Structure 1
Amino acid sequence: MKKNSTLILFFMLICMQQLAFAQPNAKNLYTYPFGVQAYTFRNHFPKDVVGTLDKIQKMGITEIETSGAKGVTDEEYKKLCEARGITIPSIGAGYDQLENLSMDIITKAKTFGAKYVMCAWIPHKGDNFTIEDAKKAVDVFNKAGKFLKENGLTFCYHPHGYEFRPYENGTLLDYIFKNTNPEYVSFEMDVLWVLHGGGDPVGLLKKYGSRWKLMHVKDLKKGVKGDFSGHTPAENDVVLGTGQADWKNIFKQSKKIGIKHFFIEDESEHELETVPLSIEYLKNLK
């Protein structure tokens, strides 16, 4: 009897260990698919589309935000991604395409199976983003957002730091949020550019809640003080967890408001080394 009890206890311990290994992320903050912004591999795609997607797959990435790649059709690109278990939830579109309500956006999104269309830049002179620029963007975004929604897509504007210029009792970004129609216009947070513009990522997630639909997971080097230019040297992109971002609270708040797609973006020149390190950081973030 004692021998049987010992065996039962032994098997119970084995089962508990297997269960623990089967749920390694049960307490982890990051529990989403690993995504990447294609711009991260801008130095690789032009040389070898297939090889670059192979590298991305080997890193464990299963989502990509992209507008395709030169040298292959969108149909071919989609098939190459599908063969590697990579989906395309979001594509990029230029401001001029939105302004002209281009059907090319719809065609590309449908081809890729994307649900979101993002724009990451509002044209303006030099580094001087003005209220006039913001007002025009509001008009463009409201019209384009309605056009995209009518075609089954969600438009997201990606702030780039220059929108944090003070305006009235807030910033020009606040103006854009308040004057765009929530039914047609959503947003994608780029954590580095929020920090660079002097914004608070967690505070903005709380303030505007579910209007944030996507996120660029990108960290700003410690000690760097940003400005309203929307530009910073590539070396200021650093491995996640080594920069200024409070990722623990960023992901806690992101979960509360329902963001489901996170794209690592690394604009440094060492992406083959840094992206895997960032993924490892996310896997172990508790």
Structure 2
Amino acid sequence: MKNTVVALFFLVSLGPVFAQKKLFPQAPGMVSYTYRHSFQKNVAATLDTIKALGITDMEFSNLFGKTAAELRKLLDERGMKCSSFGVGYPDALNKTQEVGQNAKTLGAKFVRVAWIPHEGPFTLDMAKKTVADFNQIGKKLKDDFGIMFCYHNHGFEFQKHEDGTLFDYIVQQTDPKYVGFEMDILWTVFPGHDPVALLNKYGKRFKLMHLKDLRKGIVGNLSGGTPVENDVALGTGQIDLPAVLKAAKKAGVEHYYIEDESPSIASQVPQSIAYLKSL
């Protein structure tokens, strides 16, 4: 009897050691695009809504009529931060100084571009120009502002090229000192690729991640587009999120942002947050 009591005591005391660790212990960030319609009406109130969900890390892809300084003030007043600033390709290339200054004012450590302007299928010549532009943009942002430039994949870059894809070409040909990547997991799965395999392949090249899920039954393509209703709450779609998050942690992804383009964010975003907490 005595031995049984001692054994039970040790099991109870070691309980926390055996308890499963949370797969995603931190609070996620939020992409402003998720709340784009609300932000266009009232920036301060929208920030309050997001803060009430327990989210304080933002990726802005629009200033919503504010200056960078005005937006930074609203964030500071709420104990929130902007870690990544998204801009269009033309601005990144032609207004690099202004983009870098705005990002620095916001407090962002990353500047992100999410679309390469093109018509028709994405080609090797387009990829070659992209590589040259990205290296130029990234060097200027790093040298002048200490900011890392990242490209967010959008699905169309996965055209076949040699033994891989044009996305592989862009990753391999850009300078790791100046160009990182933000993996959008929906826009990796939609064109038929495995986020886990890419994270394992390129590791620390991936600095940021968009957390989103694709409706079950949807078959993708290389268009880079799908109806916004196909964005569903995390854990309810076809993406193996636990496997993705494990690979992302191993790769060293620094910021994770929920992005939900659907009109159902009022119900889906809290559901996504709850799902991440449950893992």
Please tell me whether the aligned partners of residues 98 and 140 of structure 1 are also in contact (alpha carbons under 8 angstroms): no
What count of residue pairs does the alignment treat as equivalent? Answer: 266
Matched, 1:159 2:148: no
**Which residue is equivalent to 1:56?**
50
**Which residue is equivalent to 1:147?**
140
Taking only aligned residues, the RMSD between alpha carbons, in angstroms, comes to: 1.9
Which aligned pairs between 1:222-237 and structure 2 lie closer than 5 A? Answer: 222-237=216-231
Distance 1:106 1:182 in 2: 19
Instruction: Provide the secondary structure at the position in 1 that maps to 2:198.
Output: helix
**Which residue is equivalent to 1:272?**
266
Residue from 83, 88, 112 that aligns with 1:94: 88
Which structure 1 segments of 5+ residues have no match? Answer: 1-8
Q: CA deviation at 1:273?
A: 1.2
Residue from 239, 249, 254 that aligns with 2:243: 249
Matched, 1:206 2:200: yes
**Which residue is equivalent to 1:240?**
234
Please tell me whether the aligned partners of residues 68 and 74 of structure 1 are also in contact (alpha carbons under 8 angstroms): no
Distance 1:32 1:258 in 2: 14
**Which residue is equivalent to 2:24?**
30
Aligned-residue sequence identity (percent) comes to 50
Q: 1:58-82 deviations in whole A, cap 9, x for unaligned?
A: 1111101004533432212112112
Distance 2:20 2:80 in 1: 23
**Which residue is equivalent to 1:114?**
108
Distance 1:69 1:214 in 2: 20
Instruction: Provide the secondary structure at the position in 2 that maps to 1:46.
Output: helix
Distance 2:95 2:73 in 1: 27
Please tell me whether the aligned partners of residues 62 and 86 of structure 2 are also in contact (alpha carbons under 8 angstroms): no
Distance 1:132 1:209 in 2: 26
TM-score by length of 2: 0.91
Q: CA deviation at 1:30?
A: 0.5
**Which residue is equivalent to 2:130?**
137
Distance 2:44 2:195 in 1: 35
TM-score by length of 1: 0.89
In structure 2, do the counterparts of structure 1 residues 101 and 42 end up closer, same or farther at CA, with 3 Å as the change threshold? closer
Q: CA deviation at 1:159?
A: 0.7
Please tell me whether the aligned partners of residues 190 and 220 of structure 2 are also in contact (alpha carbons under 8 angstroms): yes
Instruction: Provide the secondary structure at the position in 1 that maps to 2:40.
Output: coil
Q: CA deviation at 1:283?
A: 0.4
Q: 1:110-149 deviations in whole A, cap 9, x for unaligned?
A: 11111001100001004x1111111110010011111111
In structure 2, do the counterparts of structure 1 residues 279 and 78 end up closer, same or farther at CA, with 3 Å as the change threshold? same
Q: 1:206-244 deviations in whole A, cap 9, x for unaligned?
A: 000000000000111111111010000011000000111
Please tell me whether the aligned partners of residues 46 and 69 of structure 1 are also in contact (alpha carbons under 8 angstroms): no
Please tell me whether the aligned partners of residues 154 and 224 of structure 2 are also in contact (alpha carbons under 8 angstroms): yes
Instruction: Provide the secondary structure at the position in 2 that maps to 1:193.
Output: helix
**Which residue is equivalent to 2:215?**
221
Which structure 2 segments of 5+ residues have no match? Answer: 1-8
